[in-house]
Structure 1
Amino acid sequence: MSRTVGQRGGSVSVVGEGADKRRGRNETEEERADRKWGELIQEVRVAQTGVQILFGFLLTVVFQPKYATLEHSNQMIYILTVVLGACATGALIGPVSLHRLVAGRRVKPQAVRWASRMTFIGLVLLLATMTSSLLLILRVATHDGWVPYLVTGVVLWYVLFWFAVPLWTRRRYTAR
């Protein structure tokens, strides 16, 4: 017979007669995969919206009259930015395609792991797309020598909030 002793941060400690303390959710591998899939899809929706708006904007730039007057180096940055945006879009839409193609095949735990990897790659590509977009915009808007420093500062800001804080939180609060 087991009973709930306490609840902390969403995890439950269960003590049974002669049983060891247990932390975490009492769910099967399939239930965990379903929960993680739902969480992942919500996260992907946010990132997809951002990358699709940015990518759509980028696609229009080449059709503007000013594009022809850009320096060759700025045109190359633009082309790189569009390619990065296309790759980010593909990586962030990938989990949807993966889910659709493997639905009903009893591989949801594996699909969740792959979708999670695709999402992480998509976020890294989104960071690269935003970095090159910012670089291009600031190079065209101003010719000041401080542009690379400003872009570096913004990239560090993204890295702090997209990767460093989450990794620190994971390390700090993950139960051992």
Structure 2
Amino acid sequence: MSDTAAGGSRRRGRNETEEERADRMWQELIQEVRVAQTGVQILFGFLLTVVFTPKYDDLADTDRIIYIVTVVLGAAATGALIGPVSLHRLVSGRRVKPQAVRLASRLTLLGLVLLLATTTAALLLILRVATDDGFVPYLVAGVVAWYLLCWFVLPLWTRHRYTSR
């Protein structure tokens, strides 16, 4: 097929059916989820062990609350990032792949937001325990800003810049 559409304008996109597009997008999504799943599972596994260490008994009440919130966020992130796998397994062969890809994409984005919150809370807890310095909130805010830039701002800027023409 020619790369020009009727009227001589340059054709954009791929020449694929909705099902072919869903198959391609599913494969891309699963590759992305594998990276995030590994990170959240390692972090969550580490968080689960903290309560069994002698240092846990010495934590201030505020730090215990931060720990509990961090564990719950980690569990929620794990659920959201593993959700696409379960979704695929349960709807496979039901001819709903385009809809499943959209839902799995939303779960993945939610999982990334929850992973950001988990990582932020874990960093806050670790730095509060490691040091009493007042710079901890600023350091955590700087790291959160970096995550936001890398995970959301640059991708959204790229999407806007190259797809709004």
TM over 0.5: yes
Report the secondary structure of 2:115's partner residue: helix
Specify every segment of 5 or more residues in structure 1 that has no aligned partner in the other structure, as ranges: 4-12
Of 49, 63, 73 in structure 1, the residue corresponding to residue 52 of structure 2 is 63
2:10 & 2:126 partners in 1: Cα distance?
56
1:30-88 C-alpha deviation (Å, 9 max, x unpaired): 00000000000000000000000000000000000110010010000000000000000
Structure index of larger Rg: 1
2:76 & 2:112 partners in 1: Cα distance?
10
**Map of 2:153 onto structure 1:** 164
Identify, as 1 or 2, the structure richer in helix: 2
2:22 & 2:123 partners in 1: Cα distance?
37
Question: Taking structure 2 as the reference length, what is the TM-score of the superposition?
Answer: 0.96
Q: RMSD of the TM alignment (CA)?
A: 1.3
Counterpart mapping for 1:40-119 below 5 A: 40-119=29-108
Identify, as 1 or 2, the structure richer in strand: 1
Segments of 4+ moved more than 4 angstroms: 18-21
Question: Taking structure 1 as the reference length, what is the TM-score of the superposition?
Answer: 0.90
Q: Which has the higher contact order (CA 8 A, sep 6+)?
A: 2
Count of paired positions: 165
1:110-165 C-alpha deviation (Å, 9 max, x unpaired): 00000000000000000000000000000000010110000000000000000000
**Map of 2:4 onto structure 1:** 14
Of all paired residues, the percent bearing the same amino acid is 76
